[in-house]
Amino acid sequence: MSEKQRLLKQLRELQEGIDRRREGIRRLLIVKQQQLSKQQEKLKKRIHGNIKPKSIISSRTGNQHEVIEITKKDDHQVQQELLKFRALGRAKKRLFRNVYKNRIKYNYKNRILINELKYVSTDGGNTLALVSTQKENSAPKAELTSIDDLELWITFKGKKYVKDYQANYNLQSKDRIVNPKREECAYYTRSGQCVNPKCRYLHTTGHVALCPSILSTQRRCTNDRCLLSHQPSQFNAPSCKFFQDGACTNANCVYSHKLESGSDTPVCREFVINGYCDKGRECPLRHTFDCPDLQEYGYCLRGRSCHLNHLLAVRTDNTGSNKATGQPTEPIRNVDNDDVLVFFDDSKLSPKEVVDDSLGDKVLRSLSSPAADGERLRQDEGGSQFSRNDDFVPL
């Protein structure tokens, strides 16, 4: 075989290889085009509500150039709508991500309702963090879709706050608090100790949650290493269930005699999460161990790790039970209940229990007494004056 024939043979082999490669690329392009066309049809149906665009009806136009122009125009509109839809999705995702972070970070702070949206006050009042995306009083509830839906300025307690890129509001520079009051350390309040030597929060003595053994046994705690509070008060003890019904007769009740509204009232997050509320009986929220996230959002953010009550129906357990169990030691008392008085309605009493009183159909009685024997005291209609009525609570 001559040199010329050998070169021609190699040339033919190269040409055949190129043709095979070109055919494979062509088939691959056809498959890719079919996949892209299917995806485009799905997106068109999703945007237009499963309605076919006008460009598909090519047999009715009669002019091929008009069909091409309509197709290009509709494709451009679809692309613009897709871009808007994706941008809206990214904005909504960023808003929801920031709100979810605030819910997790500030789960122990009570909510503040401003312009039908819920916020929490942080940084000593310099910042308002958004924790909700639905407006409360609107019917149906309007939901935010992006940070742009929020107002640029809001007013709270006579001061103006400006919006930032994280959907939070910051106090203006002229009104900003330079040295805000330090908050109580949440870890110290919950456990009675803080392992951070550089903690910048307050560690006030006595500002600690109540030991659960006091509530369960109503006796002294036998754990020598317990760092929680063993003195029940109106600030760390839950509300007495029987006192709400006007039926608590235990002078040594460790629960707080705090009047509360119905079950629709939000739960105090500072009390249920940290175990301590600075307002005590003045707090308008409920001091119970119900999960506040379940009541507010309909689900619990902590999942199975949450130790709170998740049954928001009518409760049948003895939350305010006054049974004394455990060793026969000295009972624990909530001394803040000594000055709480309540009105009893005689119409709800049995005929044997009705008291004849000239003051009317309601008799004023004292539920508890600081006396050692825990005897109930009764006040005569025109006798002595009440000596301690600073914490008087009407029912």
Residue 198 lies in a domain: no
Residue 187 lies in a domain: no
Q: End of a domain among 332, 352, 379?
A: 332
Predicted confidence (pLDDT) per residue in 277-296, tens digit: 999 889 999 998 889 888 88
Cα→Cα distances 77→33, 53, 70, 80, Å: 20, 11, 11, 5
**What domain range includes position 70?**
63-181
315/211 same-domain check:
yes
Considering only residues 277 and 380, tell me which one the structure prediction assigns the higher pLDDT: 277
Assess whether 70 and 175 both reside in one domain: yes
Domain check: are 155 and 261 in the same one? no
Neighbours of 249 (CB within 10 A): 13
Do both 144 and 84 map to the same domain?
yes
Q: Is residue 171 part of a domain?
A: yes
Query: ω into residue 328 within 30 of 0, thus cis?
Result: no
Q: What is the pLDDT of residues 57-116, one digit of tens each?
A: 444 444 544 544 545 556 667 777 777 777 777 888 888 889 999 999 998 999 999 888
Residue 189 in any domain: the answer is: no
- Pair (252, 349) in one structural domain: no
pLDDT of 322 higher than 70: no
User: Which of 159-163, 321-325, 342-346 is predicted most confidently?
Assistant: 159-163
231 and 278 share one domain: yes
pLDDT value at position 76?
67
pTM, rounded to two decimals = 0.58
Average pLDDT over residues 242-248: 84
- Same domain? For 68 and 48 the reply is no
Give dist(CA 144, CA 165) in Å, integer: 15
Residue 201 inside a domain? The answer is no
HSE of 18 in the Cβ direction (CA atoms, 13 Å)? 6
| DSSP tag of 112 | E
Same domain, 39 and 82: no
Q: Are 124 and 151 found together in one domain?
A: yes
Pair 43, 124 in one domain: no
Q: Read off the pLDDT of each residue in 372-377 and give the average, rounded to a whole number.
A: 38
Mean pLDDT along residues 304-314: 75
- Where does 192-256 have alpha helices with state H? 212-217, 241-244
Of 289, 309, 332, the last residue of a domain is: 332
Query: 124 or 374: whose pLDDT is higher?
Result: 124
Q: Which helix (H) or strand (E) holds 364?
A: strand 362-366
Structural domain contains residue 359: yes
Residue closest to 239 by CA, chosen among 175, 296, 191, 283: 283
- CA-based R_g, the chain, Å: 35
Question: Does residue 23 lie within any of the structural domains?
Answer: yes
Q: Where does a domain end: 282, 300, 332?
A: 332
Distance CA 152, CA 148 (A): 9
Residues 151 and 220 grouped into a single domain? no
Domain tally for the chain?
A: 4
Lowest mean pLDDT among 171-185, 189-203, 258-272: 171-185
Classify residue 186: in a domain, yes or no. no
- Domain shared by 35 and 101, yes or no: no
Give CA 71 to chain center in angstroms: 49
